[in-house]
Amino acid sequence: MIINSIIIPVYGNEKLVYNLLGSLLPTVDNECEIIIIDDGHKDMKINSSILPSQIIYQSNAKNSGYSFAVNRGIDIAIGQYITVINSDILLDTNWLIETRIFCENNPDLGMLGAKLIYPDYGRIMHAGIYFGHGFCFNGFRMSLSQDKLVNKIVEVQALCDALATIPKRALLEVGRYDEHYFTSVEDLDLCFKLKQSGLRNIYNPKIIGYHKTAASLDQRYKQVEKDEILFFEKWKDCIKDDTFEIFERSVLRGIKTKTNLPKEAYIINLNRKNSKATLQNFIRLSDIKVISLFDYSDYLSNTPRYIQKTKIDLLDLLPFSHIQLRLPIVYIVDFFVSIEENYYWSKQRRNSDDLVFDSGFNLFYLRELTK
């Protein structure tokens, strides 16, 4: 009897696939099947003849998008639960045990999402998907993996499906992935369909994966803007604004209370995406008076879209005179990873209360990121 059908959509980079299988195979049993869907990359070199017998390998004639590939795996799957795992994931030993325990005890489950950690940093990549004004973000990104904020089982609006499980019966009820989406937000769309049918989307930190993020870089953002417009237009009346909740929880974690925030500050805007909205949200949520705004978002707008891999060197980008600014500085960034390697800058600043605020509404002291 097959309990878990594990679907791995793949587009190029067979080394990542072999690494994933190296971490996956020791964790599964005879009640699992593994389905690899190769999405037609011309340089893919997986030799299906040497794969273990429990692996079903299918190759698409061309790349028709992530949703298409996962749906093909769903069509083949015979398990009670469908687990989607991206090829750039490495797995914790107990992920399957924790998944089965939760699924068996929660008959109203829609999607079950995992705690995803950046393997290079040991910090959070995903602890649930949250929503602002017309955009979505990973909650508590770059928090420490042991932070209590990311170690509670919580119901959320949506989840990243880089490592996620959906009961097969739920998919039969609401339908498969929407193939109008190419490589983005199809998982969020499915979560809202599940939620609309009365099922719950749950983040479970006991299920752990290590996520390199976006293995198929040349395809990852091929249709992202079109996908996001489609998603937000479709679900605009159902989306709840999470920004105040996330900001308050972030402040309570690192700064304890909003009264500890500076009354006045300089703002250095280094945010590439949703730049104006992120800046406005910070001002709205923090009540900090902006003395001067230094905006470098236009200068950075031509940097690679794949911002998780793009670091910002403050000494290289900003005038050295900014080190002598009198009041605290708030750096508005995409994600904390983009500003982490600025040890000299943070040590030479006269004011140690500089803050970093990102697109995910997380708030940290700069000194915490440059220890």
Q: Which residues contact 60 (CB under 8 A, 6 or more apart)?
A: 37, 38, 39, 40, 68, 69, 72
pLDDT tens per residue across all 371 residues of the chain? 899 999 999 887 778 888 999 999 999 999 999 999 987 766 666 777 778 888 998 887 777 889 999 999 999 999 999 999 999 999 999 999 999 999 999 999 999 999 999 988 788 999 999 998 778 888 888 788 998 889 999 999 999 999 999 999 999 999 999 999 988 899 999 999 999 999 999 999 999 999 986 555 555 556 778 899 999 999 999 999 998 888 888 776 666 666 778 899 999 999 877 778 888 888 888 889 999 999 988 777 665 554 444 678 888 889 999 999 999 999 998 877 778 778 899 889 888 889 998 888 888 888 877 76
User: Six-digit token pair at 13?
Assistant: 């980079």
Please answer whether residues 147 and 124 qualify as being in contact, where contact means their C-beta atoms are separated by less than 8 angstroms. Answer: yes
Partners of residue 204 on adjacent β-strands: 114
Cα separation, 92 vs 50, in Å, equals 25
Listed residue (252, 263, 253, 266) closest to 354, CA to CA: 266
The alpha carbon dihedral of 144, 148, 153, 158 has a sign of negative
Q: Which residues contact 240 (CB under 8 A, 6 or more apart)?
A: 131, 157
Cα separation, 59 vs 10, in Å, equals 9
Which pLDDT score, from 0 to 100, does residue 307 have? 46
Name the segment(s) of the chain with CATH classification 3.90.550.10: 4-235
Q: Is 116 exposed, middle or buried (0-12, 13-18, 19+ CB in 10 A)?
A: buried
Which pLDDT score, from 0 to 100, does residue 103 have? 98
The domain at 4-235 falls in which architecture?
Answer: Alpha-Beta Complex (3.90)
Please answer whether residues 117 and 130 qualify as being in contact, where contact means their C-beta atoms are separated by less than 8 angstroms. Answer: no
Which pLDDT score, from 0 to 100, does residue 304 have? 54
pTM of the model: 0.86
